Amino acid sequence: MESCAAQNTPLEPPELVLVDSASDPEVALPDRFRERIRLVREEVSGLGRARARGIRETYGDVLIFADDDTIFPPDYQEKALRILSERPYLGAIGCQLLPEFEGPLVLPQHYYWERLALRRFTGDHWSNRWDDFATTPIGGGMVVRRFAAEEWARKFKHTPWRYELGRKGKSMSGAEDVDLTHTVCEMGYGKGVFEELKLTHIIPRERLTADFLVKITEGNARSWAFIRGMLDPVMRPPPRTIAHRIKILAEAWRRNRLDRALILAEDRGAYMGWRQVEEARVLFYA
């Protein structure tokens, strides 16, 4: 909240809205923020619902999403608005997500960079392909033009399968950011990531364990399979033949214990995601 309230801007101060996603107990704003930040409560938990509520509660032409574990530099909003002004063909942009680890690293760093919402790159990259992950804004720091955000919120409200997207309680579900950028591309705009946009992503101690990395890998694979299958109703799941299973097991067997668990978790998550797709299609596309 401090980093959001401290944004440098030559225009009027940004409108700041904090969405309490069905917290128990309810969120209470510290006194020093009550004049700057408006608190609204969403009674049903879930990151997708919280973002949709935030869109409905705000009025600016550009929205910047902040998660509860992200810290913005003072010039983030200023840079983001300039980039969108210079590139009217882009509907959403994102940033580098640089870690602040809150505990000792018990594994080599590449495990965290590959599995958590961390991103470091050089140069600017954009495209109009929704499934090009390298140019897709992810997590906190996503900047979206209002017309695209409102269209996504409308679709979210009227397509109940989207309620499964985004973190919810202890669930490792995600992909609501991919769904939002799909809307951007569907409307004829591009999306991209820009080197000068950076924020700090706080990684708590409990996310530094091998067990958490296995869980998040399975959750990400499940979410990616689910969103791909639901956005393309004619897509069919890859066949899970005996040959496929043998290939996965053989690949896993050659790796160390953690890599083996990650390979199996990714395969298991993708299978669960496609099962979820098949069930959802019966309900919503029949």
Provide the pLDDT for residue 11. Answer: 65
Residues 118-141, mean pLDDT to the nearest whole number: 93
Provide the pLDDT for residue 169. Answer: 67
pLDDT surpasses 90 at 262: yes
Provide the pLDDT for residue 170. Answer: 72
Residues 234-255, mean pLDDT to the nearest whole number: 87
Query: Do residues 285 and 241 touch, judged by C-beta distance below 8 A?
Result: no
Among 78, 59, 66, smallest CA distance to 150 is for 59
Provide the pLDDT for residue 53. Answer: 93
Crossing angle of helices 47-56 and 146-158, in 10° steps, is 130
pLDDT in tens, 196-234: 999 999 999 999 999 999 999 999 999 999 999 999 888
pLDDT in tens, 135-164: 999 888 999 999 999 999 999 998 888 887
Provide the pLDDT for residue 86. Answer: 97
Residues 51-55, mean pLDDT to the nearest whole number: 93
Share of the chain above pLDDT 90, in %: 67
Among 132, 95, 84, smallest CA distance to 117 is for 95
C-alpha distances in angstroms, 286 versus 218, 268, 278, 280, 283?
28, 26, 11, 9, 6
pLDDT surpasses 80 at 131: yes
Burial (Cβ within 10 Å: 0-12, 13-18, ≥19) of residue 110? exposed
What is the distance between the alpha carbons of residues 104 and 115, in angstroms, rounded to a whole number?
17
pLDDT surpasses 80 at 9: no
Provide the pLDDT for residue 234. Answer: 83
In which band, very low, low, confident or very high, does the pLDDT at 105 lie, cut at 50, 70 and 90?
A: very high
Provide the pLDDT for residue 285. Answer: 60
CATH class of 43-208: alpha beta
Read off the tokens for 183.
């809307």
In which band, very low, low, confident or very high, does the pLDDT at 195 lie, cut at 50, 70 and 90?
A: very high
Report domain extents, the chain. Answer: 43-208, 228-284
pLDDT surpasses 60 at 286: no
Of 46 and 265, more confident:
265
